[in-house]
């Protein structure tokens, strides 16, 4: 049995390549740890289980994501190193109490390297003006740390200076430098309209839209505009949220893949305790093993579909919650 108090042992187990059986065993161990130590999750799960004990991940109760807005989700005896806060009006913001921020750092770095390779080979640019204007953004935290770890002298954050960003990208292109531009959708649209250029060494990764900034675009329409402006075959996307410590990535066409320590399940929207088979549309549930000390088992307000290779697509959402990389409409 894994000791969840030994953080280095836990990280070593979680972030090694897990096969399906190892993932399930670890998820079940983590479930029992949560039942013993999480004063919010345990009573909620007990009401659903009615005395039964899950013997597979399909039987584990998932906590509605709105609990992050209403409750202090953290295991007993754990301190708080960082608080990540979603955008939105006060009272409607999710707060993720992070007991050990090194878990988040390991998660996003190992996930990045799994999908894109060694971070030191890249120049990382960020265009996240709305996130920079507030405190507590997990996305800004990740982007800043990736920029530091890339060690490239031109890795930097750009607020609204599109001209300077375009000049930097142009120079990096001339140098043949592998580059990733992480940007919020409306700012990428501004850049595309004002400074289009042909990109051969640069990946554009959009992280979703921001309400009230632009007219509405379907996700496919947004990607088409960016593809045309920058002569790219695909636009990449990141699927993450304040309440999770792990990301999924799409390298195009809206098909996302997750690292081995994160699993997507689809629930029946009319019977939320029922998990659907692959290729059926429903609500997205997430098991994020990196959420050791908050809650690893979450029902989101997104609609999606899982494919037979465990990749998935996000088709929309139940409400207007602020979720990165998944909104069907970009405003």
Instruction: List, for residues 134-178, the tens digit of each pLDDT value.
Output: 789 999 999 999 999 998 999 999 988 999 999 999 999 999 999
Residue 85 backbone dihedrals phi, psi, to 5 degrees: -125, 135
* Angle of the 185-194 helix axis to the 219-230 helix axis, nearest 10: 30
Residue 2's pLDDT band (cuts 50, 70, 90)? low
77-91, 214-228, 253-267, 312-326: the lowest-pLDDT one: 312-326
Domains along the sequence of the chain with CATH: 1-63 (no CATH), 103-253 (3.40.50)
Q: How many alpha carbons lie under 13 Å from residue 170 in its C-beta half-sphere?
A: 10
Mean pLDDT of 207-235: 84
Mean pLDDT of 278-284: 96
The 3-state secondary structure of the chain reads CCCCCCHHHHHHHHCCCCCHHHHHHHHHHHHHHHHHHCCCHHHHHHHHHCCCCCCCHHHCCCEECCHHHHCCCCCCCCCCCEEEECCCCCCCCCEEEECCHHHHHHHHHHHHHHHHCCHHHCEEEEECHHHHCCCCCHHHHHHHHHHHHHCCCCCEECCCCHHHHHHHHHHHHHHCCCEEEEECHHHHHHHHHHCCCCCCCEEEEECCCCCCCCCCEEHHHHHHHHHHHHCCCCCEEEEECCCCCCCEEECCCCCEECCCCEEEEEEECCEEEEECCCCCCEEEEEEECCCCCCCCEEEEEEEEEECCCCCEEEEEECCCCCCECCCCEEC
**How many CB atoms lie under 10 A from the CB of residue 116?**
17
Residue 6's pLDDT band (cuts 50, 70, 90)? confident
Tokens at 274, concatenated? 């029922």
Mean pLDDT of 217-233: 93
Tokens at 306, concatenated? 């899982």
β-bridge pairing 95-98 and 82-85 = antiparallel
**Whether residue 330 has pLDDT greater than 50:** no
Give 299's contacts (C-beta < 8 A, 6+ positions apart). Answer: 62, 63, 64, 65, 267, 272, 283, 284, 285
CA distance 209 to 212: 9
Comparing 91 with 83, which gets the higher pLDDT?
83
Pick the closest to residue 183 from 175, 195, 244 (CA basis): 195
113 burial (CB, 10 Å; 0-12 / 13-18 / 19+) is middle
**Mean pLDDT rounded to a whole number for the chain:** 90
**Whether residue 327 has pLDDT greater than 90:** no
Residue 283's pLDDT band (cuts 50, 70, 90)? very high
pLDDT tens sequence across 68-78: 999 999 999 99
Mean pLDDT of 253-268: 96
Pick the closest to residue 316 from 228, 174, 209 (CA basis): 209
Any bridge partners for residue 161, and if so which?
none
Q: Rank 132-146, 253-267, 316-330 by mean pLDDT and report only the highest.
A: 253-267
Tokens at 233, concatenated? 């075959």
């Amino acid at each position: 049995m894994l000791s969840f108090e030994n953080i280095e042992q836990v990280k070593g187990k979680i972030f090694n390549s897990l096969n399906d059986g190892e993932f399930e065993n670890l998820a079940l161990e983590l479930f029992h740890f949560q039942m013993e130590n999480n004063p919010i999750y345990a009573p909620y799960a007990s009401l659903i289980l009615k005395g039964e004990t899950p013997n597979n991940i399909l039987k584990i109760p998932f906590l509605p994501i709105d609990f992050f807005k209403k409750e202090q989700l953290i295991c007993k005896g754990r301190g708080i190193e960082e608080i990540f806060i979603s955008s939105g009006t006060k009272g409607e913001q999710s707060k993720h109490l992070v007991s050990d921020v090194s878990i988040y750092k390991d998660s996003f770095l190992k996930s990045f390297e799994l999908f894109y390779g060694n971070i030191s080979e890249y120049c990382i640019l960020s265009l996240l003006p709305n996130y920079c204007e507030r405190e507590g953004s997990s996305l800004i935290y990740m982007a800043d740390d990736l920029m530091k770890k890339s060690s490239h002298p031109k890795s930097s954050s750009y607020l609204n200076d599109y001209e300077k960003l375009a000049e930097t990208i142009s120079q990096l292109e001339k140098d043949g430098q592998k580059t990733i531009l992480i940007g919020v959708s409306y700012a990428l649209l501004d850049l595309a309209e004002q400074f289009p250029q042909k990109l051969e060494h640069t990946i554009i990764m959009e992280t979703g839209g921001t309400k009230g900034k632009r007219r509405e675009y379907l996700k496919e329409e947004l990607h088409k505009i960016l593809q045309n402006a920058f002569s790219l075959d695909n636009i990449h996307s990141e699927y993450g949220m304040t309440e999770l410590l792990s990301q999924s990535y799409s390298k195009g066409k809206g098909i996302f893949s997750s690292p081995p320590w994160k699993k997507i399940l689809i629930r029946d929207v009319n019977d939320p305790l029922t998990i659907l088979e692959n290729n059926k549309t429903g609500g997205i549930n997430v098991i994020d093993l990196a959420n050791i000390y908050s809650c690893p088992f979450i029902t989101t307000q997104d609609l999606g579909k899982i494919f037979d290779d465990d990749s998935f697509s996000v088709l929309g959402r139940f409400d207007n919650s602020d979720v990165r990389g998944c909104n069907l409409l970009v405003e």
